[in-house]
Amino acid sequence: MRSFSFTKMHGLGNSYIYVNMFKERLLEEELPDIARCVANVHTGIGSDGLILICPSDVAPIKMRIFNSDGSEGKNCGNGLRCVAKYAYEHGIVRDEQFAIETLSGLVEARLFVENGKVSSVEVNMGRPRLSREEIPMVGKEKDMVINEPIEFAGHTYYMTGVSMGNPHAVFYVDHIERAPVTTLGPIIEKDARFPEGINVEFVEVVNDRELHFRVWERGSGVTQACGTGACAAVVASVLNGKTKRNEETVVHLAGGDLYITWKENGDVFMRGGAETICTGVYYY
Ligand SMILES: N[C@H](CCC[C@H](N)C(=O)O)C(=O)O
């Protein structure tokens, strides 16, 4: 029987099982199955997936994320805040501002520390990618997708496409509590027009600085929060003239609030909480 130590953490209820790969050894080919197993609430630990905190050649640490279906994502906003907290509180990094490598490039985390504990984290998530080839989405490579009519299941919806290193399809609704998250989400997630699948976000605009938000995540389904998705929602809202560039927008997710600004320099900044739930040993 093999085992590894883990820490369960969450960002606004978007929880993952975190494994410190500076200390643990997991076989690459087993990672998707380990993600599926630990995420299972009945026979595993229960989470939205698995996140590895790894050594990096280009930054103090590297984050890898696996969804609950075992697929590997390229970025994870809530995960980045938890990884930054873990790395500081476990002495992997000593600075309160440092880079983190992800599969979609480097990001920069800034910690807010109280009595040696990280209370919240701000992450510079970098620039959104807006062309069809970057989302990715089929069609003319250089075109953007802003409030574009698109048909799913016989109905026309208006989509804005944004990548934060991972793909997001943003749709506006009048009442967030009626958003078709579990009916339309899974259809769009796997639509053939998205070669890598896509995360699906529904947004209700409260005012030009406030959004309500729900998500169907690629590879995980409904989650309490999606940091990259909330960033995509703010970028889409600026592009659609609903919120303002360079001004902080509060995004109300099911699990709590994120504070996001798409700055004039092009970078998207996200600030929010990160919590440690428990630690343990997983046997497999
Ligand atoms: N929950 C994560 C997003 C996971 C993205 C993953 N579902 C994918 O892109 O495949 C977040 O806080 O950004």
Q: pLDDT for 38-63, tens place per residue?
A: 999 999 999 999 999 999 999 999 99
**Domain extents for the chain?**
3-126+272-283, 148-265
Could you tell me which of 127, 112, 124 has the C-alpha nearest to residue 274? 112
Torsion angle defined by CA atoms of residues 268, 272, 277 and 279, in that order, rounded to the nearest 10 degrees:
40
Instruction: Return the CATH architecture of domain 3-126+272-283.
Output: Roll (3.10)
Fold assignment, 148-265: Diaminopimelate Epimerase; Chain A, domain 1 (3.10.310)
- Residue 28 neighbours by CB under 8 Å, 6+ apart: none
Could you tell me which of 119, 156, 98, 87 has the C-alpha nearest to residue 271? 119
Does 77 show up as a binding residue in the annotation?
Answer: yes
Tell me, yes or no, if the pTM score tops 0.95.
yes
Residues of the chain with pLDDT under 50: none
Atom of ligand 1 nearest to the CA of 230: 13
Please indicate whether the domains covering 3-126+272-283 and 148-265 agree at the CATH topology level: yes
Burial of 208 (0-12, 13-18, 19+ CB in 10 A): middle
Is residue 237 within 8 A of residue 231, CB to CB? The reply is: no
Q: pLDDT for 134-162, tens place per residue?
A: 999 999 999 999 999 999 999 999 999 99
Q: What are the Cα distances from residue 205, in Å, to 202, 216, 278?
A: 10, 18, 35
Instruction: Say what the ipTM of the complex is.
Output: 0.91
Pocket test for ligand 1, best of 103, 220, 222 (most atoms within 8 A of CB): 220
